[in-house]
Amino acid sequence: MRSPVDYLRISVTDRCNFRCGYCMPPEGVPLKRHDEILSYEEIISFTRATAGLGISRVRITGGEPLVRRRCVDLVAGLAAVDGVDDLSMTTNGSLLAAHAAALKQAGLGRVNISIDSFHPGRFGKITGGAALEPCLAGIDAALSAGLAPVKLNAVMLPGIEAELEAFVELVRELPLHVRFIELMPFDGRGSEASRGCGPDGLPAGEGHGAAGDGVNGARLLELLGELVHLEPLAAPRAPAGGGPACYYGFNGARGSLGMISRADHFCSRCNRLRLTADGRLWGCLFSGEETDIRPLIAEGGGALATAISRTINSKLYDWRRCSPGGERRAMAQIGG
């Protein structure tokens, strides 16, 4: 039987040119030296091994992946791996305008762009001072290059309610797929794991980064419904990707609106592994358990395949097994 785990997220760098508070602490994170992160050759070798175990979908993440030089070369190498039939990237879009066409030519299929606001002042506040205009240019470049679908990730931070009409109009006019993401607190060791997890595998209770810091998904959906009549979309009308979002269309829309909510209990449907920039393999984002596979990449062969298989087999589908472990890391150090 084919494994339900078929998706690998690869963080190529822990560096980012933004400072979004939900992803990186205000003081930043201790950055890895260049020799501490995986080379592109190591990443490609690891991806070949995972492809041999049924991983057919690969996403490049960061930090911000495009701050790492020659990222286009990595895309070309991954696109050539036998068995990888879906290659995508998550980016903040700020550097995408200069690279979108080359990324498409190298074999990138689609892109997710994180953009939490279309108001320049609010955008700057969320990102720690970044400018909005380069990100808008990145969206335009992705569409022009033929990367499809283009998804926009918007974390539901306070204030987003006032921007819903702008998001709706964007989806009406362009083939963009907005995904509103309910704030999911994370501290790198099971996301407030010391407080315990709820039945969705996500943290329960109040405290630092609690869900109360964001906007409730059900309320946001209600507000969207006051602007347009939403119709649930299912495959093949929903955009490609197979993630946990629930998508909605409306009359005249060229794109769609999506929702990723804590209440959806999607842990049991999780199909992904995560590889950090320094070569640690994660089976569950909220567990904190990791395996150092960099030495095994150099060895190749059965030892690497065994380590990958072990991580796949131990994925935490049951929230009751969720327990803190491993090194405490920020989201920017793991790749989301």
Report which of residues 188 and 236 the model is more confident about. Answer: 236
Task: Assess whether pLDDT exceeds 70 at residue 155.
Answer: yes
Task: Assess whether pLDDT exceeds 90 at residue 193.
Answer: no
Task: Assess whether pLDDT exceeds 60 at residue 318.
Answer: no
Least confident of 38-42, 43-47, 255-259, 289-293: 289-293
Report which of residues 330 and 266 the model is more confident about. Answer: 266
What mean pLDDT is reported for the chain?
A: 85
Query: Span 7-334: which CATH code?
Result: 3.20.20.70
Query: Rounded CA gap, 40 and 158, in Å?
Result: 38
Task: Assess whether pLDDT exceeds 80 at residue 52.
Answer: yes
Give the residue extent of every domain in the chain. 7-334
Q: Give pLDDT, residue 334.
A: 58
The percent of residues above 70 in pLDDT, for the chain, comes to: 81
Query: Rounded CA gap, 146 and 162, in Å?
Result: 31
Q: Give pLDDT, residue 4.
A: 84
- 93 confidence band (pLDDT: 50, 70, 90): very high
User: Is there a contact between 153 and 115 (Cβ–Cβ < 8 Å)?
Assistant: yes
Report which of residues 28 and 122 the model is more confident about. Answer: 122
Express each pLDDT in 247-297 by its tens digit: 999 999 999 999 998 766 566 678 899 999 999 999 987 666 899 999 999
pTM of the model: 0.86
Amino acid at 184: M
Tokens of 45: 């070798």
Report which of residues 161 and 24 the model is more confident about. Answer: 161
Query: Rounded CA gap, 249 and 255, in Å?
Result: 7
User: Is there a contact between 307 and 293 (Cβ–Cβ < 8 Å)?
Assistant: yes
- 202 confidence band (pLDDT: 50, 70, 90): very low
Q: Give pLDDT, residue 236.
A: 79
Q: Give pLDDT, residue 285.
A: 75
Q: Name, in order, each residue with C-beta under 8 angstroms of 305's C-beta and a sequence gap of 6 or more.
A: 49, 52, 53
User: Is there a contact between 321 and 268 (Cβ–Cβ < 8 Å)?
Assistant: no
Instruction: Provide the angle, in degrees to the nearest 10, between the axes of the packed helices 164-173 and 217-227.
Output: 60
Task: Assess whether pLDDT exceeds 50 at residue 34.
Answer: yes
Report which of residues 269 and 229 the model is more confident about. Answer: 229
Q: Give pLDDT, residue 265.
A: 57
Tokens of 262: 């804590």
Least confident of 76-85, 122-131, 218-227, 322-331: 322-331
Least confident of 64-73, 172-181, 286-295, 309-318: 309-318
Express each pLDDT in 121-152 by its tens digit: 999 999 999 999 999 999 999 999 999 999 99
Highest averaged pLDDT of the listed ranges 15-24, 70-79, 210-219, 301-310: 70-79
Q: Name, in order, each residue with C-beta under 8 angstroms of 275's C-beta and a sequence gap of 6 or more.
A: 8, 9, 10, 11, 38, 43, 46, 281, 282, 293, 335
Query: Rounded CA gap, 303 and 46, in Å?
Result: 12
Q: Give pLDDT, residue 214.
A: 81
Task: Using CA atoms of 244, 272, 73, 85 in order, give the dihedral in degrees to the nearest 10.
Answer: -80
For tokens 């879906």, the residue is 86
> In this structure, what are the phi and psi dihedrals at residue 112, rounded to the nearest 5 degrees?
-110, 130
Q: Give pLDDT, residue 241.
A: 77
Express each pLDDT in 100-116 by its tens digit: 999 999 999 999 999 99
Task: Assess whether pLDDT exceeds 80 at residue 206.
Answer: no
**How far from chain centre, in Å, is Cα 225?**
26
Q: Give pLDDT, residue 204.
A: 30
Provide the residue count of the chain.
336
